[in-house]
Structure 1
Amino acid sequence: MSEQLVVRLGSESRQAIHWLVWSTAEREIIASGILASAEHLIELKSHAGGRAVIALLPSCDITFKDVELPGRSNKQLLNALPYMLEQELSSDIDKLHFSVLDKVANTVSVAIVAHEKMQLWQSWLADAELICEQYIPDALALPYSENHWSAIELDGQWLIRQTPTQGLCIESELLEFVLASTGENVENDVSSAQAVMSYSAIEVQELDNWQQGHIEFPMKLCAEGAIASRYNLLQGQYKVVREENVAFKLWRGSAIAAGLVVVMIFANQFVTLHKLEQQQTALESEIKQVYKTVFKPKKMRLNTRLVKKQMQNRLNDLRGGGDNTGFLMMLGQLTPTFKLSPAIKPISVRFDTKQGALRLQASATDFQAFDKFKSSLSTQFSVEQGTLSQRNGRVQGTLDIKGKK
């Protein structure tokens, strides 16, 4: 992306929030402004569309440490960093988030911030629907030089970068006091004479070791440094899971599932086909056995095609040679009437091929149901009704049905 939205968050929600949209291609400011508080972050949603969002965190809430490891850094040693620093920290290490900024030989540079703060900043951005994938200490967004510290004033605070991985955020009125105490800090091995390059106008005359650099717009200077920075406090439990990775995992899972389904379908089809072949073999054997029993052929070795032909001829005989008085034809014509007469339940059916007549023995809920059924059949057939009797609460009787001539 050639344009980025850089947002400097505060320590508390009531503090002002500075923001800037920077174009790396044009090297110019697209838009910038100041929000009254974190509640107004939602106003940046329109500026974030299609742009990467970088959050600058107040360095006053971050502790920077350099740790000498007993051997070459590995995952186990890095996981042990909180316990190695436990004696130097005033807070419970379980309440702190540790981020590795850099590793040089056996020295590891670490940024430490409270989980409470990390979660607070995340909640602000989430409420504003801003997707941010990089958290950078604001002091580390300033230019770095081996010859001097870098400093700039932003909203009543001085940001100072001391080393590649260490910096300060000092209230303006406390600047002289903090620098004096920092000069006596053995750990940093610096003195009060440490040269400082200021990118803001120097108003404190007592800072003799400060040099006036080119005056810069604070958020522009910080934005350029942040965009070029590789530091990111979103590590461990805060590590960003990119949407494309999630999509790939979902797609991969779906592809595997689809593959398994295809395999299962083919396996099921194979099993079904095998069963059908077995059923076909058993059915052909049964057909041949029935054919032998009914037709008693002279040849013991039967051809399946011959058996089917003989059975078809027999079926044609049952149909009455294609005449509309044939058994199957008549059953087909009776079906609609049965559907319209649910009170009638067939008990047995006999068909006289020579007479072309069907004798139906059935039961009904009452005598009227029989009369109604007979009347319905009379429109297509000649119907003779036998004696009706009543058994077990139902009426039984026979009907002789013939096609009309």
Structure 2
Amino acid sequence: MTEILLIRTGLNLQDNLTWLVYSPQEQEIIASGELASASELNTLTEKSDNRDVIVLLPSDQVQLKTIPLPTKWNRKLEQALPYMLEEDLACDIDDLHIAIGDPGMIEEQHTINVGITDATWFEQWLEVFRENEITAYTVLPDALLLPNSAPDELAGIELNDQWLFKLNDWHIAAVEQSWLAGYLSALGNPDVNHYSPVTDFPEAVTLKPQTQDYDLPLALFAKQLPHVKFNLRQGRYQLKKQGSLWWGYWKSAAIAASIALICSITIKLVELNQLNTQVALSKAQVVDRYQRAFPGTKVRPQLIRSQIKGALAKISGGSDVGFLSLTNELVSVFNQVNEFTPETLRYDNRRGELRLRARAKDFQTFGKVKSILENNGLTVEQGSLNNDGDFVVGEIKLRGGA
């Protein structure tokens, strides 16, 4: 597995940024540091090469909400989601970027998790990373990467003079020290599992130090990445990976490509077998109809085309608009129209008229045949059409053009 570069942004481009290079395989920190502002991001461009870049946004700029739904999550609800949120938001819904998380259930109520942030602010940070040639396929709010705690217990860590908290799976907050007592009181003073030393917490709160997991905040976040599937880069902000960053990605892609290739070859073989069967069936039908039309003649399947032409030439008497000419026109129709099967064929030599009784899959097929023949310069008269089970049976009369 490749190394990971985590970059935690500030509220604006002038705030300091923290970064960390972490090896999931070795479970160790490779390097870490701070940048005075976004103007120094170019110093991380080289470090981002051949590493999976994860951008962390301040949690006070990303709101996580769980939205109740009238029914199970589906595409129609996804289209209606902005209107469902509109009443709960103080700003114009068009100014926001809404990222969709996992659907769920609260008792018998269907729900969907969403992440919301200001679209202009979000785009500004994406553009800054693009300008510095740092490609980040994953963007997350930082506190979402805190470890999960028991129900109704908080997980917390201190970062840049703020406390980051996570309650259950989908409640996060960034709290200034001066707001700490009010925030905890509003939640009913839940127990706090803290991953950095604490000071000035209300006495009503039970503190549970996770000393064995004390670490740099970004290192703690890196360890939680496999457990978080959410990504703010969705919709118009989504990036498709250009290539594999490590063997695991390459292996998955190769397996998927192999399966797709095998499936494609199998489908083509099935289709080829079906076509061969249809060809054999058609040949048998041609031979059978030739023998019925010209009883007592010997059929040579490999020469059937020449035999038909010779027999028809005798019948038509060499007339340009005779039987042979009209049946030649019909041959082209059979090549162009599927599921159009002749049943009887009669030729009126006196009138120069060929009468064809045929079976087709629907009425439109007869219309298509009539149109093709007329486009070829023939005079076509369509008789009555009748349903015969799953098919339509009818008669077509055709003569040479006037």
Q: CA RMSD in A?
A: 1.8
Closer, same or farther in 2 for the Cα pair 1:10/1:205, shift >3 Å?
A: closer
Aligned-partner Cα distance in 1 for 2:82–2:134: 30
Q: Which residue of 1 aligns with 2:40?
A: 40
- Deviation at residue 73 of structure 1 after TM alignment: 0.8
- Deviation at residue 227 of structure 1 after TM alignment: 4.9
- Ranges in structure 1 where 5+ consecutive residues have no aligned partner: 184-190, 249-405
Q: Which residue of 1 aligns with 2:199?
A: 203
Aligned-partner Cα distance in 1 for 2:182–2:15: 23
Aligned-partner Cα distance in 2 for 1:50–1:57: 22
Aligned-partner Cα distance in 2 for 1:3–1:49: 10
Instruction: Provide the secondary structure at the position in 2 that maps to 1:99.
Output: strand
Contact kept? 2:181, 2:201, Cα under 8 Å: no
Q: Which residue of 1 aligns with 2:382?
A: none
Closer, same or farther in 2 for the Cα pair 1:244/1:46, shift >3 Å?
A: closer
- Deviation at residue 213 of structure 1 after TM alignment: 1.8
Amino acid at match of 2:118: A
Contact kept? 1:95, 1:114, Cα under 8 Å: yes
- Ranges in structure 2 where 5+ consecutive residues have no aligned partner: 245-252, 254-402
Aligned-partner Cα distance in 2 for 1:152–1:205: 13
Q: Which residue of 2 aligns with 1:12?
A: 12
- Deviation at residue 159 of structure 1 after TM alignment: 0.7
1:158 aligns with 2:163: yes
Amino acid at match of 2:84: M
Instruction: Spell out the pairing of 1:260-271 with structure 2 (5 A cutoff).
Output: none
- Deviation at residue 174 of structure 1 after TM alignment: 2.2
Instruction: Spell out the pairing of 1:180-195 with structure 2 (5 A cutoff).
Output: 180=185, 182-183=186-187, 191-192=188-189, 194-195=190-191
Q: Which residue of 2 aligns with 1:365?
A: none
Aligned-partner Cα distance in 2 for 1:143–1:36: 28
Q: Which residue of 2 aligns with 1:110?
A: 114
Amino acid at match of 2:14: R
Aligned-partner Cα distance in 2 for 1:80–1:172: 39
Closer, same or farther in 2 for the Cα pair 1:213/1:244, shift >3 Å?
A: closer
- Deviation at residue 205 of structure 1 after TM alignment: 4.4
Deviations 1:208-238 (A, max 9, x none): 3222221322111012223542110111111
Contact kept? 1:109, 1:165, Cα under 8 Å: yes
Q: Which residue of 1 aligns with 2:233?
A: 234
1:212 aligns with 2:217: no
1:58 aligns with 2:55: no
Contact kept? 1:101, 1:165, Cα under 8 Å: no
- Deviation at residue 64 of structure 1 after TM alignment: 1.4
Q: Which has the larger radius of gyration?
A: 1
Matched-pair identity in %: 34
Aligned-partner Cα distance in 2 for 1:79–1:118: 21
TM-score, reference length from structure 1: 0.56
Aligned-partner Cα distance in 2 for 1:67–1:230: 19
Aligned-partner Cα distance in 1 for 2:115–2:49: 30
Instruction: Provide the secondary structure at the position in 2 that maps to 1:233.
Output: coil
1:221 aligns with 2:220: yes
Contact kept? 1:101, 1:108, Cα under 8 Å: yes
Instruction: Spell out the pairing of 1:330-341 with structure 2 (5 A cutoff).
Output: none
- Deviation at residue 48 of structure 1 after TM alignment: 0.8
